[in-house]
Structure 1
Amino acid sequence: MTEAYFQEGFHLTPRFGAAREMLSRVPGSAESAVIDKARQVFARTSLKAIALLDGDHVLWSAYKEPSHPATRFSGYSLGKTVTAMTVGHAICDGKLKPTTEVPELVPELRGTGYDKVTVAHLLTMSSGIRDGSYHAAGTPQVQEKIRQIHAGQGQWRDLLPLVNQRRVGFFGKALEPGESFEYKEMDAFVLGLMVEAAAGQPLSTYMEERVLPAIGIEGPVALRQDKSRTTYAPTVARMTLPDWTRFAAWVKKQEGQPGCIGDFVRAATRTQIANKSNVGFSLHHGYGHFVWTDNPRHRDSYWAWGFGGQRIAWNRSNARMLVVFSSLENNAEEVFDLYREWAALP
């Protein structure tokens, strides 16, 4: 039986059995040199937890008080990447197709801007829906609804009637699905609703029973949901640093595996659409499936990132990864430089 604590808007999973084993080993001399630099970066910046990985080996990790190994860190939009991998499982389980359209599973959006928007469009943030959601400069009505939800006086689904209109381009023509990238919360939220309907159970339950154990998460994991058990997919998970490293290692391993999940991860971590927007362009010129790609400082890398400086970094040349959590969005350049050196090691 799982424990739920709705006063903070989260569902707490149980501890899972057979967690992915994360190993340790003595760093080599070149690795030690980069770790020494990482210690310096960690000490002088707002980073509050960090891990340097080589495959399933954690070469170095650190925390700043009051954080510790049992602290569950909010990944903020790292949750979108967790949601993407959940969608991959739903596709491979035969519950969804990339071509499944939103109204087939979320009927209250039939006749809105989400008509003809597919799973593939949502995964690439190319629904064409006007952004007025969580972090954007939404209407006062949207912002008030969000305040009510946070206060436990509403449900996430209450946002659907308020943010479902197609964005209009420069010449007054509505953007078509798939036409352009625009980062937003609602595409991820609607995709979570589609998985929920396709699985016939709350998204948090599907994650708890099917996805998190398959990834090898130890838990407990806090999954964000409201009193109706509707899960907020964009910022879904709070996990310990060891569990975030398990997630990172699983993604990297699946990138090289045959089969449906491997195919999905390979597609997710490669550029599916160009990022020409004003969100993240200086850091990433491309976007996969809730994964940032085409980093001009490290073209071979792909990233998950969340508000406030949360980052997971991978690259295709080797299995060296970086996981960081922060309290401020003021250390991106130092994190990019650190990962470039870590990823360059043989």
Structure 2
Amino acid sequence: MKYSKIRLAFTATTLLAGCVSIALAQSNMSYADGAAAVPDSWLLVKKGNPWWYTTKASPTPVALRQRTPTAAEQQVIERARSLVANRPAKAFALLDGDVVVYSETKAPADMESVFHGFSVGKTVTAMAVGQAICLGKLKLDTKASEVMPELAGKALGSATVHDLLRMASGSAEPNPDSTIFTPEQFKEWGRGNLNLVDLITEERVAKAQRGVFSNYKPGELFSYKGTDPILLGLMVSRATGIVWNQWIQETILNPMGAAHSGLYVQDRQQNGLSDGGLRMRLEDWMRFAVWVKRSSKEQSCFGDFVRKAITTQIPNGSSPSTRKMGKLFGGYGYLTWTDNEIAHNTSWAVGWGGQRISWHRDSDRIVIAFSNIENWMPDLYEVARDWNALLSRKTMNAI
């Protein structure tokens, strides 16, 4: 089945806007064929601005295993290979737990490329917030103004961590594409002259979103934009007393077992662009995906948090036709999309231009893709659906 109605509705006005880099948001290449797009020069950049953070390999890097696919898996892999060849994909991987069954890159990308995750980084931020909660530095009911006094008396200051994780801060939508920079701020950010604290506390950003009859209150409305994850990153840094890049290093990259260095976008004050600033090699994105899945099975505070993060916490409209963002997703967890219309029972980290990580909630199946243009995502979701439908090798051995 080709889901023709969904495909026809998959247009630029309803695509996930995500964290669009400044130059990209201003570029003629931000859309192609009516879909979100990123050029290789942004997707595969290996060297950032001098004030960005260079991430480090974990002291205990985790090995990824490989195995030969089963006959049924090979059929799905052949479809994935066809997509890499005929779609604007730059990388594709199919995993069964920590076992890489298939991975491929397309030139100019290779296994040493540093892939920009764009808003896939929002899910990274969610995990970092969960670590802060489980270490007693924040609570789900902590209000933004409690750790960011600059927001006292502003609508955004009343939003709790729980509201922000669900994209339900109740704050304004400064731009129609989920970004919150003005054109001049885009320029200043590119020069390294914009402080994210100044941005997030600006009245234009921090005021309440207006409904038909009244202002929205925190927790009342799902509204996808950069405000909520950026604020969460600032709150974690304030609550822990640790700059964001070090928190990401210590609570995400080290425990997941990163094997290589990467990049994290930040301002000169080391406030991280926590709505999507992480860039890593494909195999380290695999390690992140495996770590999230493994963590979701733990009987612990963090395990409980991850299970909530990858399940629906707030609805995204009643049907594809009513959704402003994320048309193929019926729900949202903690900075993670849920209820995919094609690949059921999955959770997705989603980035502008076709960056995707998928977790199947009832198996260890994982799908990862990086892309230049987002116009082939229904094809990707169909591969994820069929990959998830196969019994894992572990399950087969147990039968």
TM-score computed with the length of structure 1 as normaliser? 0.94
CA distance in 2, matches of 1:92, 1:136: 29
Matched residue of 2:233: which SS? helix
1:170 matched to 2:212: yes
Structure 2 CA distance, aligned partners of 1:155 and 1:219?
28
CA distance in 1, matches of 2:385, 2:251: 34
Amino acid at match of 1:154: L
Distance 1:226 1:133, change over 3 A: farther
Where 1:131 maps in the other structure, the secondary structure is coil
Please give the secondary structure, in 2, of the residue aligned with 1:285.
strand
1:272 aligns with 2:313: yes
> For structure 1, which segment, 45-54 or 125-134, has the greater mean C-alpha deviation from structure 2 after superposition?
125-134
CA deviations on 1:293-332 (whole Å, 9 max, x unpaired) are 1112123111111000000011112111100000111111
Q: Which secondary structure does the structure 1 equivalent of 2:155 belong to? A: coil
Counterpart check, 1:224 vs 2:260:
no
Q: Is the 8 A contact 1:273 1:286 kept in 2?
A: yes
Corresponding residue of 1:118: 160
**Which residue pairs with 1:201 in the alignment?**
242
1:85 positional shift: 0.3
Matching residue of 1:45: 87
Deviations 1:132-184 (A, max 9, x none): 1594476xx8221122111222222231213111011111x111110010000
The answer for unaligned runs of 5 or more in structure 2 is 1-46, 392-399
- Aligned pair count? 339
Q: Tell me the secondary structure at the aligned position of residue 103 of structure 1.
A: helix
Q: Distance in 2 between matches of 1:132 and 1:8?
A: 29
- 1:233-259 deviation line (CA, Å, top 9, x unaligned): 001200100000011111111111100
Partners of 1:168 and 1:77 lie apart in 2 by: 25
Q: Distance in 2 between matches of 1:136 and 1:123?
A: 15
SS state at 1:313 partner: strand
Two-structure CA RMSD over aligned residues (Å): 1.6
- Equivalent position of 2:340 in the other structure: 295
Residue matched to 2:349: 304
Task: Name the counterpart of 2:136.
Answer: 94
* 1:17 matched to 2:59: yes
Counterpart in the other structure of 1:240? 281
Counterpart-to-counterpart distance in 1, 2:171 and 2:183: 17
Give the partner amino acid of 1:181: F
Maintained 8 Å contact 1:50/1:323: yes
State the shift of 1:116 in Å: 2.0
C-alpha contact (below 8 Å) 1:54/1:320 kept by paired residues: yes
Instruction: Tell me the equivalent position of 1:339.
Output: 384
* Match in the other structure for 1:323: 368
| Secondary structure of 1:235 counterpart | coil
Please state how far the C-alpha of 1:35 moved relative to its aligned partner: 0.6
Q: How far, CA to CA, are the matches of 1:270 and 1:96 in structure 2? A: 21
CA distance in 2 between partners of 1:206 and 1:264 (Å): 17
Query: Which whole-Å CA distance do the structure 2 matches of 1:187 and 1:100 have between them?
Result: 14
Shift of the 137–57 alpha-carbon distance from structure 1 to 2, 3 Å rule, reads closer
Between stretches 262-271 and 143-152, larger displacement belongs to: 143-152
Instruction: Note if 1:253 corresponds to 2:294.
Output: yes
Q: Distance in 2 between matches of 1:89 and 1:264?
A: 9
Secondary structure of 1:312's counterpart equals: strand
CA–CA separation in structure 2 for the residues paired with 1:26 and 1:230: 43
180-189 or 141-150, which deviates more? 141-150
User: What CA distance in whole angstroms lies between the structure 2 residues aligned with 1:278 and 1:147?
Assistant: 31
1:286 maps to a residue whose letter is G
1:258 is aligned with what amino acid? Answer: Q
Is the CA contact (8 Å cut-off) linking 2:171 and 2:209 kept in structure 1?
yes
**Structure 2 residue identity aligned to 1:219:** H
2:7 aligned residue:
none
**Match among 63, 68, 85 for residue 110 of structure 2:** 68
CA distance 1:238–1:133, change in 2 (3 Å)? farther
Shift in CA distance, 9/324, structure 1 to aligned 2, threshold 3 Å: farther
Q: 1:8-34 CA distances to partner (integer Å, 9 max, x unpaired)? A: 652102222211211001111111111
Give deviations 1:60-104, integer Å, cap 9, x for gaps: 101111111111100000000000000011111111110111011
1:253-312 Cα deviation digits (max 9, x unpaired): 111110011100000011000012644342101000011011121231111110000000
Amino acid paired to 1:192? G
Moved more, 90-99 or 275-284: 275-284
CA distance in 2 between partners of 1:46 and 1:8 (Å): 30
Cα deviation for residue 41 of structure 1 reads 1.1
Residue identity opposite 1:309 in structure 2? G
Asked whether the 8 Å contact 1:133–1:185 carries over to 2, the reply is no
Kindly provide the CA deviation profile for residues 167-217 of structure 1, in whole angstroms up to 9, marking residues without a partner as x. Answer: 11111x111110010000011000000000011021111111232111222
Q: Which amino acid aligns with 2:162?
A: A
In structure 2, what residue type is equivalent to 1:180? L
Residue 220 of structure 2 is aligned with which of 152, 165, 179?
Answer: 179
